[in-house]
Amino acid sequence: MGRRLTILAAVLAALAVVPALTAGLKFYPDDPIRREPESRDASKAVPLNIALFYEYAINLFVTERHKPSNTRAQNVNTIDEVPDSGWLTNRIGTTNLSGEQIARGPNVNRGPAPESWVILREKTAGTSPGFTARDANGQTWFVQFDAPEYPGASTADVEIATKIFWALGYNQVETFITTFDPAKVTIDPKATVRRLSGVRTAYTREDMNIVLERAARSADGTYRASAGRLLEGKVIGNFRYSGVRSDDPNDLVPHEHRRELRALRVFGAWLNLVDLKAGNTLDALVEQNGRSVVRHYLQDVGSSLGMANDYGVWDMGWEYFYDGPATKRRFLSFGFALSPWQTVPYKEYPSVGRFEGSEFDPTTWKPQTPTTAYLELRGDDAFWAARKVMAFSDDLIRAAVHVGQFTDAAAENHVATVLMQRRDKIGRAYLPAVNPIVNPSLDAGGRLTFDNAAVSAGFANAPSVYRATWSRFDNATGDTARIGENDSATTTMTAPANLPGAPGSFIEVDISAESASNPSWRKAVRTFFRRTADGWKLVGLERLPQKIDPTDAGTEARP
């Protein structure tokens, strides 16, 4: 017997020197990463513009039937956060933004010099009046105006939405409110406009007048305008809300599985960004670390806050451009089955669109057309987005709205108030919908602390008890070995005494909560800690499983 043991020991000793392969590791040493690498040169990417009518048709009649995969977003890091990338830079909720920073937003350069303008070309996208023009400093701008019926509204909305989406982390174009005086305009001799016949002829002052007739004119004869700076880099068209760019080596994650694109369902609902189409995005090649990489922009977020292209349409934010169930309902009832948009009360201000918060429901909000990313949103994505929205304090919202330069203080206050109402409805809908444990921390002494985002925001009562299940975790195999379990009425717990002490060892702590009003909290948030020399580092957090059953927690908040 002793001889056999000796032999076995020798064999095991010999085999023990074989290092564990890193393939299959759940956590790498650099987890959680804070930035998505962009390691390859993308200069071969070519312009690709997405056809408007094709996109509308596909989104309305094909994408609309897309069945969500119910899988976790693929670009989140191991603690369920979105690392910085060419798509998103974490700002609010990650860093403390001041009102001044939000008011400045993406603007790093001076605004336009409106002492003189040179019109360079017609505006070819969108229906709002405008054109491309060069200011007195020689800078090129995309200039667009307010509709006569809503003086100040569109320009304000572009400003406000740009600043808010910048704070949310999206790449935004520098925009400014400026003035445009037709008396100080010249037309570039090379400027052309496409006529009805399809031919291009010289842009004339009459062409400018046609544009300005559709714009709100100030009493002094000038026009208030929104000026968007020409993007740096080489513009290569739009990005899609599904799939990847086949010519961008750094674009690995299908866009419908990028959390920040799924989350536009929440952010879009907040601001009522109804024109959520690929045509309102831009990809641009920029230089970074000596190579070309693609920056992805939400280029036009102006169809927000109740303003959109066609003022005769009331259903924006409530129905798709074509909405099958609503069509059927109205058809069969001969219009007597009223839709919410037919009765919702709006406060009327000339400088504000149709924007309200009392009837708003983030879970039923709809853009003009759905996108695949929009339909892929699941509970953990919405939770992430809702935390970003909730990070906007009342003061920050007021700071963002103030950049709209409303001439009517009541209108400005109305927009800010509605944004706060809608913010709170988003928080109330999405924070309690999944287990809202956040910020777990385990100190060297075994003291576990965490927060409950829904309770902290005042959208749920504290649960009767929190429960933690402690396990050793094998990073190579994924196996767990139970250590113990304990309860607490508070968000502080003490670890069992027999936690592993060797640096590099892992534990898994599954934290659930007992709340009669929020049964989804019984589904534990899985957290993972790695032992370091001076304590425990959070390396993993899984709010929902990789794939969830459609009827499972976290999907009930999805319409």
Partner 1 sequence: MKGRLAAILLTAVLLPAATAAAQEAAAVEEQEPQTREGLIEQQQADKDATLTPAKPDKAEAYVTRISDIFLAGQMRWHAFFHSAYSGGGFTMGAGYTEFLSPNNTLDTRGSITFSGYKRIESEFIAPNLFGRRGMLSAIGGWREATQVGFYGIGLGTNVNDRANYSFQQPYGSATLTVRPNRDLFFVRGGLEITQWRQNPGSGDFPSVETKYTPSTLPGLGAHPAYAHTTAAAGIDSRPAVGYARRGTLLSATWQDYSDPDHAFGFEQLNYEVIQHIPLVREAWVISLHGLLQNAYEKDGQQIPFFMLPAIGGGDDLRAYASWRLRDRTSLLLQAEWRVIVNRFLDMAVFYDTGRVAHGMNDLKLSDLKYDGGIGFRFHGPLATPLRIELAKGPEGFSMVWAASHAF
Of residues 289-348, those binding partner 1 (CB under 8 A): 310, 312-314, 321-323, 326-327, 330-331, 334-335, 338-339, 341-343
30/485 with CB nearer partner 1:
30
**Least distance to partner 1, CB of residue 84, Å:** 13
548 in Cβ contact with 541 (< 8 Å): no
- Cα(420)–Cα(399) distance, integer angstroms: 12
User: Residue 512 — φ and ψ, nearest 5°?
Assistant: -125, 175
Exposure letters 170-194 (e unless 16+ CB within 10 A, then b): bbbbbbbbbbbeeeebebeeebebe
Residues 504-523 within binding reach of partner 1 (CB under 8 A): none
Binding mask 14-33 toward partner 1 (x if CB under 8 A, else -) reads: xx-xxx-xxx----xxxx-x
* SS3 labels along 86-133: CCECCCECCECCCHHHHHHCCCCCCCCCCCCEEEEEECCCCCCCEEEE
Using CB atoms within 10 A of its CB, is residue 445 exposed (0-12), middle (13-18) or buried (19+)?
Answer: exposed
**Least distance to partner 1, CB of residue 303, Å:** 16
Residues 423-482 within binding reach of partner 1 (CB under 8 A): none
If binding is defined by CB under 8 A, does position 364 make contact with partner 1?
no
> What count of other Cβ atoms lies within 10 Å of the Cβ of residue 440?
22
**Least distance to partner 1, CB of residue 17, Å:** 5
**Least distance to partner 1, CB of residue 11, Å:** 6
**Least distance to partner 1, CB of residue 39, Å:** 4
Instruction: List, in sequence order, every residue forming a beta bridge with 447; answer none if it has no partner.
Output: 494
Binding mask 136-175 toward partner 1 (x if CB under 8 A, else -) reads: ----------------------------------------
**Least distance to partner 1, CB of residue 488, Å:** 32
Binding mask 250-289 toward partner 1 (x if CB under 8 A, else -) reads: xxx-------------------------------------
- Cα(27)–Cα(525) distance, integer angstroms: 17
The residue to which tokens 């094998």 are assigned = 474
Which DSSP letter does residue 38 get?
A: -
Residues 52-91 within binding reach of partner 1 (CB under 8 A): 52-54, 57, 77-78
95/342 with CB nearer partner 1:
342
- Cα(268)–Cα(556) distance, integer angstroms: 19
Binding span for partner 1 by CB under 8 A among 150-158, 220-228, 240-248, 432-440: 240-248
- Among 125, 136, 210, 410, the residue binding partner 1 under the rule CB under 8 A is 210
If binding is defined by CB under 8 A, does position 204 make contact with partner 1?
no
The two structure tokens encoding residue 158: 């572009």
Size (the chain), residues: 559
The two structure tokens encoding residue 519: 């049964």
Size of the site for partner 1 (CB under 8 A): 77
- Among 138, 189, 190, 196, the residue binding partner 1 under the rule CB under 8 A is 196
* SS3 labels along 304-328: CCCCCCCCCCCCEECECCCCHHHHH
- Cα(241)–Cα(257) distance, integer angstroms: 9
- Cα(480)–Cα(471) distance, integer angstroms: 6
**Least distance to partner 1, CB of residue 144, Å:** 20
22/492 with CB nearer partner 1:
22
**Least distance to partner 1, CB of residue 79, Å:** 12
204/364 with CB nearer partner 1:
204
52/465 with CB nearer partner 1:
52
Binding span for partner 1 by CB under 8 A among 48-56, 183-191, 382-390, 496-504: 48-56
CA dihedral 543, 545, 547, 551 (to 10 degrees): -80
284/429 with CB nearer partner 1:
284
The helix or strand, by DSSP H or E, that contains position 2, with its residue range, turns out to be: helix 2-15
If binding is defined by CB under 8 A, does position 195 make contact with partner 1?
yes
